Structure 1
Amino acid sequence: MKKLAILICVVMLFNGCKIGLNGASIPAEMKTVSVQLFENNAPLVIPYLSSQFTEDFKTRIRNQSRLSITQNDADAVFTGNISNYEIVPVAIQDNKNPTPGANRLNIRVNVKYTNNLNPKLSFEESFERFEQFKLDGQSIQALEPQLIKKVTAQLTEDIFNRAFANW
């Protein structure tokens, strides 16, 4: 009987605990957020990048917070643009016939975050991430979608953490 009472106490204790691993500290009064389309202003334009980045960021907010995404009268607003998209060689393989041994996809996003509940927490910053890759006989076009997905995931995490986890 004593063991059962201890077990019930332990279960009740852990039941009352909530552990969040993403580090988000969103104020209780913040209920809504607006994410405007991140226009692609990069010199090299990938047609689907703008909508994919915007949707990936909305998905991150939905999955890692309790915030509702709305178009108007939001407690917080994200606007911005994709200012750079480039693929550059980072390692040369052969001195006689120089070919890239590795390449790097760079994406930079300018973000303006407006916190309408606490303007002191608003910011305007650039975020940049990259993914290094080898072609290994494949074309850049074949690898590009998965590379963009990886870099976009890193960028949306950085922006989310900056806005909601104060990182």
Structure 2
Amino acid sequence: MKKIERVKNYELRRGRPAVMSYRFRIWSLFLILNSSLLPLSCGKYSFTGTTLDPTIKTITVNTFTTSAAGGPANLPIQFTEKLKEYYQRYTDLKVVPSNGDIILEGSISGYDVLPVAATASDQAAQNRLQVTAQVRFSNTKDESKNFDQPFSFYQDFPANQTLSQNESRLLPKIQDQLVLDIFNKTAADW
């Protein structure tokens, strides 16, 4: 009992609590270093949340087309480039022009302005810009992951303003969310 009190008194005189003994600090450092190496052993997961098979090395993003009656003429090209950039930034995949291990393609199938939030006089208080992308995903390593489905997102704007007044502000937000949704479905398997 006296030995424990002497150790505590020694530690307190040196300005350290008894809990932070030399052995405790070394053991803590050892645990921290070992736990930081743990994610490196997990081949299928990463800090970005992707669950791509480690054998997948390349992606092809074919230029999207448009089948919607509306929207900027360069919308499909902008959307395709955003997809490529997102995969390059958040995965180790190499973007190739053709024959990738995974392939994304599709079209902008909807570009709609819809009235929402009606007022007492049956007029819209807000309008909604909604963009829909029909996406075909092919995984050459695991065909059970293939799909063909629509992704849709919207942003609202005041009814007393025109679409052209708001389009340049709303469209990037919509595209970013669509890209994130597609990425989560294809690379994060959500």
2:89 counterpart of 1:63? yes
Structure 1 consecutive aligned stretches of length 4 or more whose deviation exceeds 2 Å: 17-23, 91-94, 137-140
Q: Secondary structure at the match of 1:44?
A: coil
Distance in 1, matches of 2:92 and 2:146, equals 19
Q: For residues 61-88 of structure 1, what are the alpha-carbon distances to aligned partners after superposition, in whole Å with 9 as ceiling and x for unaligned?
A: 1122111101122101111000100112
Q: What one-letter code is carried by the residue in structure 2 that aligns with 1:147?
A: L
2:55 counterpart of 1:29? yes
Distance in 2, matches of 1:4 and 1:90, equals 60
Shift of the 17–132 alpha-carbon distance from structure 1 to 2, 3 Å rule, reads: farther
What is the aligned length? 164
Normalised TM-score (structure 1) = 0.87
- 1:126 positional shift: 1.0
Q: How does 1:2-151 map onto structure 2 within 5 Å?
A: 2-18=23-39, 20=46, 22-93=48-119, 95=121, 99-134=123-158, 138-151=161-174
Distance in 2, matches of 1:50 and 1:26, equals 26
Distance in 1, matches of 2:74 and 2:38, equals 42
Name the structure, 1 or 2, with higher relative contact order (CA <8 Å, separation 6+): 1
Q: What 5-or-longer segments of structure 2 have no aligned partner?
A: 1-21, 40-44
Rg: which structure is higher?
A: 2
RMSD: 2.0
Higher helix share: 2
- 1:121 positional shift: 1.2
- 1:22 positional shift: 4.1
Q: 2:18 aligns to what? A: none
Q: Which of 164, 178, 185 lines up with 1:155 in the alignment?
A: 178
Distance in 2, matches of 1:23 and 1:105, equals 30
Identity %: 25
Larger mean Cα displacement after TM superposition, 83-92 or 139-148: 139-148
Q: Secondary structure at the match of 1:159?
A: helix
